[in-house]
Structure 1
Amino acid sequence: MRPGGCRTVLLEPSERRTAQELVRDTLRRGILTGEISGGTRLVQAELAQQMQVSTTPVREALRSLSAEGLVRLDAHRGAVVRRLNQEELQDIYELRCILEPEALRRALPRITAQQLDEAAVIETRMQEERDPARWSDLNRQFHRVFIDAAGSARLTQMLEILQDSFAGYIVASIVQDDHRRDRANDQHQTLLQAMRDGDGERAAEIMLEHMRVTMAHIAKLEA
């Protein structure tokens, strides 16, 4: 999706979610998978028409996404998908370098065999997945297994926000360089083995290198 453009978004049917939740979740997924790119305008009236809802749930959904840092509410342009500048990207990277290794260290004595098996299943699916958006979604799920195992709701919340801010850029980096996905898959496999071996420091080192490579690709993309 070209930044600054508008797009058609299909609303997924559900009996258990409100209209506001449906709109929010549909837009969030589009942003996190890179389908709706940074700089895209989200016009309330157009979204309401496309999703066959009133403007009220759309407005509330956009406010919710703004609170998550995914959308910027502009008095003149309306809602715009946030596009991070180089300084913001660097800040997120540095925070993740502090928090993610710590999450792995905390997870190590708590993680269960079932959680490790879950991560292995996701990792196998990532090896087979060639669609960048679906791969990015699996990538978030893989990292989330270890974050959840750390047993800290506050840490989980902070890392979710940081990872979500990066998600669209990861998709773009894979589209630009398909080998990037293969290298990331190899690092995920090595990380999982370190966690199975109970080697927290090795896992933390792998995570730091994984993030360093990811940031280098994103920086090249934004240059």
Structure 2
Amino acid sequence: MDSRRPQTARQYVVGVLRTEILRGTHQAGARLRQEEVAARLGVSTTPVREAFRDLLAEGLIGLDTHRGVLVRGLTLADVRELYELRILLEPRLVVSALALALPGDLAAAEATHLRLCAELDPERWAGLNVVFHRELTLSAPDGRLARIVASLAEAAGAYVTLSMHASKELMAFNNADHAELLQHYRNGDAEVAARKTAEHLEQTLRAIEENVQARLTRSDRIV
């Protein structure tokens, strides 16, 4: 999504609620009422309902049969599982993408990289980061592997946002890492690009762990 374009009501609600959850405004287990959120944010209930679906997919909220929509909170166990799967699967997708890559296939990722380097807002940076990683492998076959990797990256986005809020210098660090990753793609060296992808994801996981540890409660939840 182009962060310079006007937001839809749905995007606005998602952004506000995501930020509130990540910053601890809503504690884990808190109930979110559709009508109350709509009134507070000055929108109808439709974009709130749509935003709840997005946040459910990200793992930030859950559904309880009796209590409705509840803030789920984030856990280190969850982020570790997400990144372990990404570290296992994403390098394989890189190899598939580079095997079919054509001149010009990196144009979108290169353009997004420039926007990442100019972006200072943690939420928008994290959103562009998901786009960047997806664009790197656009030439890969549109199969189950690509869909799984995309789903994992989307789910990890909330953790990336939280980490960037905690330590904004991580944006500059990751931008430099992305530049190196792009160069490996340009060189067409699938083995090196795949290895660098795994290293990048491992570094990201370590940074997230370090920057959210202080926000854990005794129940091992980020609040």
1:112-155, Cα deviation, whole Å (9 max, x unpaired): 33331211111112112222112112111110102332122422
TM-score with structure 1 setting the length: 0.77
State percent identity of aligned pairs: 34
1:136-215 to structure 2, matched below 5 A, reads 136-215=126-205
Give the Cα separation in 1 of the matches to 2:67 and 2:91: 39
1:53-202 to structure 2, matched below 5 A, reads 53-54=44-45, 58-59=48-49, 62-63=52-53, 65-66=55-56, 69-75=59-65, 77-202=67-192
Superposed displacement of residue 217, structure 1: 1.3
Give the Cα separation in 1 of the matches to 2:97 and 2:121: 30
**1:84–1:137: structure 2 CA closer, same or farther, 3 Å change rule?**
same
- Retained in 2: the 8 A contact 1:74–1:80? yes
**1:73 match: secondary structure:** strand
1:48-89, Cα deviation, whole Å (9 max, x unpaired): 3335424x6744653565356443012454313432322221
**1:147–1:42: structure 2 CA closer, same or farther, 3 Å change rule?**
farther
Give the Cα separation in 1 of the matches to 2:165 and 2:113: 19
Structure 1, unmatched stretches of 5+, are 1-10, 14-21
TM-score with structure 2 setting the length: 0.77
**1:130–1:52: structure 2 CA closer, same or farther, 3 Å change rule?**
closer
What amino acid maps onto 1:37 in structure 2? Answer: I
Give the Cα separation in 2 of the matches to 1:124 and 1:204: 22
Superposed displacement of residue 160, structure 1: 2.4
**1:26–1:147: structure 2 CA closer, same or farther, 3 Å change rule?**
farther
**2:70 match: secondary structure:** strand
Give the Cα separation in 2 of the matches to 1:64 and 1:175: 20
Among residues 31, 35, 40, which one is paired with 2:19 in the alignment?
Answer: 35
What amino acid maps onto 1:196 in structure 2? Answer: R
Give the Cα separation in 2 of the matches to 1:211 and 1:67: 21
- Retained in 2: the 8 A contact 1:37–1:168? no
**1:82–1:117: structure 2 CA closer, same or farther, 3 Å change rule?**
same
Superposed displacement of residue 190, structure 1: 0.7
What amino acid maps onto 1:35 in structure 2? Answer: T
- Retained in 1: the 8 A contact 2:63–2:70? yes
**Could you say which residue in structure 2 is the equivalent of 1:44?**
34
Give the Cα separation in 2 of the matches to 1:154 and 1:65: 23
RMSD value, Cα: 2.7
Q: Which runs of 4+ in 1 moved over 6 A?
A: none
What amino acid maps onto 2:147 in structure 1? Answer: Q
- Retained in 1: the 8 A contact 2:97–2:140? yes
Q: Which has the larger displacement, 121-130 or 168-177?
A: 168-177
- Retained in 2: the 8 A contact 1:195–1:203? yes
